[in-house]
Chain A
Amino acid sequence: MISEKLKGVILRALALDDYAITEDMLASEVPGWDSLNHIRVLTAVEDAFGIRFKSHEVMRLKNVGELDALVRRKGGA
Chain B
Amino acid sequence: MIDTLWARWERQATAQPAADAVISWCADAEPVRFTWERLLSAARGAAAGLADLGVRRGDVCGLMMRHTPLFYPLYMGISALGGIPSVLAYPNARLHKDKFIHGLVGMAKRSGLRWLLTERDLESTVRPLVTVTESTVEGLLFPREIDLDIRRTVEIEVSPDGVCLLQHSSGTTGLQKAVALSHRAVLEHVARYGAAIGLRAEDRVASWLPLYHDMGLIAAFHLPLASGIPAVQIDPFEWVSAPRLLLDVIAREKSTLCWLPNFAYNLLATRLREDDAEGIDLSSLRMLINCSEPVRADSHEKFVERFASHGLDARALGACYAMAEATFAVTQTVPGQAAHVLYADRAALSEGRYQPSESREGARACVSSGRVLSGCDVRVVSPSGEPLPDGHVGEIEIRSVSMFEGYRNDEAATHEVLRAGSYASGDYGFRLAGEHYVIGRRKDIIIVAGKNLYPEDIEDAVGQVPGVIAGRVVALGQDDAALGTEIVMVIAETTVERAEEKALKLAILKAGMAIDVTIARVYLAPPRWLIKSSSGKPSRRANKDRLGELMQLEARSA
Interface positions of A (Cβ within 8 A of B) = 15-17, 19, 26, 28-29, 31-32, 34-39, 43, 52, 54-56, 58-61
CB contacts (< 8 Å) of A43 on chain B: these are 271
A39 / chain B contacts, CB cutoff of 8 Å: 240-241, 243, 267, 271
Distance A61 CA – B242 CA, assembled complex (angstroms):
11
Which of B273, B483, B510, B513 is close to A36, meaning CB atoms less than 8 Å apart?
B483
B234 to chain A, nearest CB (A): 12
B267 adjacent to A55 (CB under 8 Å): no
Assess the A28–B94 pair: CB atoms within 8 A. Answer: yes
7 contacts between A and B (CB under 8 A): A17-B502, A31-B518, A36-B485, A37-B518, A52-B275, A58-B242, A59-B28
CB–CB A36/B243 < 8 A? no
Contact partners of B93 in chain A: CB under 8 A = 26, 28-29
For A58, list chain B residues within 8 Å (CB).
241-242
Q: Closest residue to B511 on the A side, CB-wise?
A: A31
Taking the complex as formed, is B193 at the interface, i.e. its CB lies under 8 A from any CB of chain A?
Answer: no
- 5 nearest A-B residue pairs (beta carbon): A55-B242, A31-B509, A28-B93, A35-B240, A28-B94
B399 interface residue (CB < 8 Å to A)? no
- Given A31-B518, A37-B518, 13 other A-B contacts at CB below 8 A? A15-B520, A16-B509, A17-B502, A29-B93, A31-B509, A32-B509, A36-B518, A39-B240, A55-B276, A59-B28, A59-B238, A59-B241, A61-B241
Whether A36 pairs with B27 at a CB distance below 8 angstroms is no
Residue with the greatest number of chain A CB neighbours at <10 A, chosen from B94, B483, B485, B506: B94
Asked whether B244 lies within 8 Å of A55 as measured between CB atoms, the reply is yes
Nearest A residue (CB) for B485: A36
Please name all residues of chain A whose beta carbon is closer than 8 Å to the beta carbon of B267 when the two chains form the complex: 36, 39
- B245 to chain A: which residues have CB within 8 Å? 55
Please report B residues at the A interface, Cβ cutoff 8 Å: 27-28, 92-94, 237-238, 240-245, 263, 267, 271, 273, 275-276, 448-449, 483, 485, 502, 506, 509-510, 512-513, 516, 518-520
Check A52–B273 contact: CB distance below 8 A.
Answer: yes
How many Å lie between the Cα of A59 and that of B263 in the bound state?
Answer: 20
Tell me, rounded to whole Å, the shortest Cβ–Cβ distance linking A28 to chain B: 4
| Cβ-neighbour of B506 out of A28, A31, A38 (below 8 A) | A31
Partner of B237, one of A26, A35, A52: A35
Residue in chain A with minimal CB distance to B271: A39
How far is B510's CA from A43's CA once the two chains are assembled, in angstroms? Answer: 24
Instruction: State in angstroms the CA–CA spacing of A14 and B197 once bound together.
Output: 40
Chain A residue, CB-CB nearest to B273: A52
Q: How far is the CA of A56 from the CA of B94 in the complex (A)?
A: 24
Closest chain B residue to A54 by CB distance? B276
Q: A15 contacts which chain B residues (CB < 8 A)?
A: 520
Residue of A nearest to B247 (CB): A55
A56 to B243: give the CA distance in the assembly, Å. 11
In the complex, are the beta carbons of B27 and A59 less than 8 A apart? yes
Residues in B with CB closer than 8 Å to A59 are: 27-28, 238, 241-242
A25 to B357, CA, bound (A): 51
Residue among B28, B243, B483, B518 facing the most chain A CB atoms (10 A cut-off): B518
Contact of B240 among A16, A29, A38 (CB under 8 A): A38
Tell me the complex Cα distance, A29–B242, Å. 20
A32: B residues at CB distance < 8 A: 509, 518-520
**Chain A neighbourhood of B243, CB < 8 A:** 39, 55
Q: Chain B residue with minimal CB distance to A55?
A: B242
CA distance A54 to B448 in the complex (A): 27
Cβ distance B516 to chain A, nearest Cβ, rounded Å: 8
Distance of A41 Cα from B241 Cα, bound (Å): 11
Complex alpha-carbon distance, A31 and B520, angstroms? 10
Please judge, given known A-B contacts A26-B93, A56-B27, whether A36 and B240 are in contact too, CB under 8 Å.
yes
Complex CA gap A61/B240 in Å reads 13
Q: How many Å lie between the Cα of A65 and that of B107 in the bound state?
A: 37
Given known A17-B502, A36-B449, A43-B271, contact A31–B276 (CB-CB < 8 A) = no
| Assembly CA distance A56 to B244 (angstroms) | 10
Given the complex, which residues of B lie within 8 Å of A37, measured CB to CB? Answer: 518
User: In the complex, A38→B510 CA distance in Å?
Assistant: 17
Instruction: Judge whether A52 and B276 touch: CB under 8 Å.
Output: yes
Specify the chain B residue showing the minimal Cβ separation from A17: B502
Shortest CB-to-CB span from A33 to chain B, Å, is: 8
Are A31 and B241 in contact (CB-based, < 8 A)?
no
Q: Is the CB of A36 within 8 A of B263?
A: yes
Bound complex: CA of A35 vs CA of B235, how far in Å?
13
| A56 engages B273 (CB within 8 Å) | no
Are A34 and B27 within 8 A (Cβ)? no
- With a cutoff of 8 Å between Cβ atoms, the chain A residues found around residue B448 in the complex are 36
CB-CB < 8 A to A35: which residues of B?
237, 240-241
Please give the distance in Å from B271's CB to the nearest CB on chain A: 5
**Chain A nearest CB, measured from B532 CB (Å):** 29
Cα–Cα distance between A31 and B242 once the two chains are bound (Å): 21
Q: Which residues of B contact A34 (CB under 8 A)?
A: 94, 516, 518
For residue B276, which residues in chain A have a CB less than 8 angstroms away from its CB?
52, 54-55
A37 CA to B385 CA, complexed, in Å: 42
B524 to chain A, nearest CB (A): 14
Distance between B378 CB and nearest chain A CB, rounded to angstroms: 31
C-alpha spacing A29/B240, complex, angstroms: 17
Known: A36-B240, A55-B244, A55-B245. A31 touches B513 (CB 8 A): yes
CA distance A34 to B93 in the complex (A): 10
Say how far B521's CB is from chain A's closest CB, in angstroms.
8
A43–chain B nearest beta-carbon distance, Å: 7
Contact of A56 among B242, B271, B485 (CB under 8 A): B242
Question: Does the CB pair B518–A19 fall under 8 Å?
Answer: no
Find A19's partner among B449, B506, B512 (CB 8 Å cutoff): B506
